[in-house]
Chain A
């Protein structure tokens, strides 16, 4: 009888262990899977700053497996995974423009994780980036990497034409006129060049007058003073030949190429382009391209030191259907600690913490570190996230091209944007 009871107790114990085993296994997987763009893996595991996940892996006995895809494929895969009953993806990188309402519903909210196991000094992470990932007061993503817009100019061409670096947008406009000329060998130099197929750099220009395409509270601001000034200016530049005749087909790659070959004197683009513009292996103008914050209008000098330019960024999110959410959160928290943010920055990342820009190592590595920090302190996303953001941006580009090329007046084009985009916004 006693033997039977012992056997019974033993059997129940083994059965209980058997039932508990999968749960224990869930608590401690062999690996956590991160789905990201290749660049995120590179800046997280680079040589200069080292692997920012290594100490965490050693401490927890859990490996990190990176699955890297191009931007479009990455989001497509992530959105498909989010719809499954369960996913093997533990952490995903999400571009801010893709963080729309319908997607955030499928993500793990971070407020409870923050209360139980907070990110160190989260207020150090630029507030504009955190705000863009907060929906109905709940945080859904932790910013990891940003791309902010700066003003790039070719010092050699400025010197050649006797033009001083512009300090206000009004000075930049005048400089663009003086920097447009034809060399003796027949090569034309354009004073100013931005991408003609996108909307973001036009928003950058409008921000010099504190203008916007769509404000963070979902107001279409294309007929407001800031955007009207920017679009009218681009139209005037096109008419005057300051922008090239093929501007509407100019992509970012061409902007890079024209700056690298001295065919364009000034541009608005991501601050990080400074490296490409000054790369001796790729650029004929290496060492000549200076990068500063986009100058603000004289009329807004009291409000901003620099224009509140475009800031786009990647965040780390956890799928709501992930299996190891607490562990994934712990890794997210570790990856954005002040120490690891600096290490990733040394590996080439755009750091999301203000304190990172104050480090001596950072200042040595990035000649424009102070300028970029100034942008980040006032910058904001080019448009707020919403389901129809891609459609709205296409409408803007269509009307912008029509205005700049003279198919419509800037007033009519921007009024048309307002009329067509307003119904697409969240009501």
Chain B
């Protein structure tokens, strides 16, 4: 069976019609991983034995005629989502040997569907980065050009899907970590509304911003995964009780009359010319299909990067204070309790993680709290207000996903400021808790994918998916040649 960019729904048909067994399908992907992943390093852990065991179990469900949309479908899972008995490293030396004693809620939900785990995908350490080059174990490469980054932090998940080493994957998004790698790797990824998916079992980076979501070959496959993983969870008080709709319901409906806003600040000179042109061309295509384009403004974008980094790092400094080398995680040396903690953290964390902890503690420390952290919260309120005003007059917002296509490995090394400012197109969506999807809208002259983002109102993933799907119906994606 040709698995190149195979869609979940096609695999579902093949499994249900007995054209392939769950074990055979899983075996095909494992073979591809073995052959191809040496070049890409998209996985940290490949769970071969568990995958084959899961596949056997799934086959029984299929044979009994009780298959669900994800029964027997192999998936990759970002290595910051806990799976009982499977190493979950967060791509950090700190958690190199950590084996969670429980499943994240999204994993429980996937288990209920009978999915097959292929392995744990690489990422930036503790999801802090946009290149997957801060991973302590697998610095993933872009399948379209292995001298370039796959984006991040869910770079392993995006690269695995792009290279057909999994038909889809789970990622997490705190400031663009699903959408930006999806854009760099030419696949589709959605960050749901804050509260749509449970964060229970997701190793916390910034609790008010983190959200789990899928990366797949198109919006339709993303919708299928969202149907399985969303919903309230009593283990996560921030998960919403809002009713979960069928996310595939509006797929295929025309976008005629849909109002799409283009905030001018997202199309400034800071955005690469190729990127701007591709996204605007995509907007024109949607207009051709009957959508109504309007220009709008988001003045608060100017301050979005400091607002995001101050909030995210403040929360990270607090969340990562649990890593002391005592109860779990890397243990250093020391004659006293205090020395042991400092040595464990010094040796367990990488440089970017340490910088973000320092920045978070700076923003929260006495004398700086009002000037930085509280100011960032004021900005958050302003950004939410500006989004609300835009949504008073439109259904979705269209922006580039990243200012540039995938850049060369090493281009942002030792330059945290450059790394942070590259998040300008994605962070406001997390700050405002909105749903946002990235899908491919073009390629550069040298074949690098370019992504566009469709942003929607809170809990309106359906319209976001509908818009992305409408564009995907007339766009021909090109799989990478490995």
Asked if chains A and B come from one complex, the reply is no
